[in-house]
């Protein structure tokens, strides 16, 4: 059941993001609440924090900076013990909402907290670099280059003829 709730949260999140991109904030917020309910039922703090971030984005673009700040702060509290980048994103959302409200001191504080936290975050890129180093990295690069070269039609070679 947990797996189904995680998938429901992700799918609802993506639909909500689409509604927000289409500038339909009411439907976006409705789908974000569905995503949040699924994330809570799945007991997945990362997804819970992510949905709070989306609520913040929706409120920000609907010109409700106080609500945007509230949702971002709520998500940042949930993400405080997580290692991923969602916590950094939420601190940025909080700072942007605070800037929209004209609270310069809060913006500076949040930006400093984000800078301090950034060094502790294990990014997917750093993990990928650590796992794909040396010969493995060379093999991946060669495979990608081979696929790129093969994508060119024979009438238009990928590499200039010398």
Whether residue 143 sits in one domain with residue 68: no
Q: Within a domain: residue 65?
A: yes
What pLDDT score was predicted for residue 112? 92
What pLDDT score was predicted for residue 129? 67
Mean pLDDT per 10-residue segment, the chain (162 residues): 94 96 95 97 95 96 96 95 87 95 95 83 63 72 74 58 47
pTM: 0.73
Whether residue 76 sits in one domain with residue 99: yes
What pLDDT score was predicted for residue 138? 75
Q: Which residues contact 12 (CB under 8 A, 6 or more apart)?
A: 31, 32, 34, 35, 38
Burial 130-151 (b: 16+ CB within 10 A, else e): eeeeeeeeeeeeeeeeeeeeee
Domain that holds residue 132: 123-153
What pLDDT score was predicted for residue 141? 74
What pLDDT score was predicted for residue 128? 66
Q: Within a domain: residue 162?
A: no
What pLDDT score was predicted for residue 26? 95
Q: Cβ–Cβ contacts within 10 Å for residue 20, how many? A: 22
Closest CA to 61 of 104, 93, 106, 33: 93
What pLDDT score was predicted for residue 84? 80
Query: What CATH number is associated with residue 87?
Result: 1.25.40.10
Whether residue 32 sits in one domain with residue 43: yes
């Amino acid at each position: 059941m947990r797996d189904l709730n995680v998938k429901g949260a992700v799918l609802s999140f993506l639909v909500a993001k689409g509604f927000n991109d289409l500038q339909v904030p009411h439907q976006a917020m409705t789908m974000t609440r569905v995503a949040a309910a699924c994330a809570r039922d799945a007991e997945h703090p990362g997804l819970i924090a992510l949905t709070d971030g989306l609520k913040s984005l929706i409120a920000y673009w609907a010109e409700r900076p106080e609500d945007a700040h509230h949702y971002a702060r709520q998500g940042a509290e949930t993400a405080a013990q997580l290692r991923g980048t969602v916590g950094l994103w939420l601190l940025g959302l909080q700072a942007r909402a605070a800037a929209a409200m004209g609270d310069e001191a809060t913006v500076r504080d949040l930006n400093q907290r984000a800078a301090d936290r950034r060094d502790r975050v294990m990014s997917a890129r750093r993990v990928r670099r650590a796992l794909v180093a040396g010969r493995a990295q060379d093999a991946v690069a060669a495979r990608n280059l081979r696929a790129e070269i093969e994508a060119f039609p024979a009438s238009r070679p990928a590499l200039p003829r010398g």
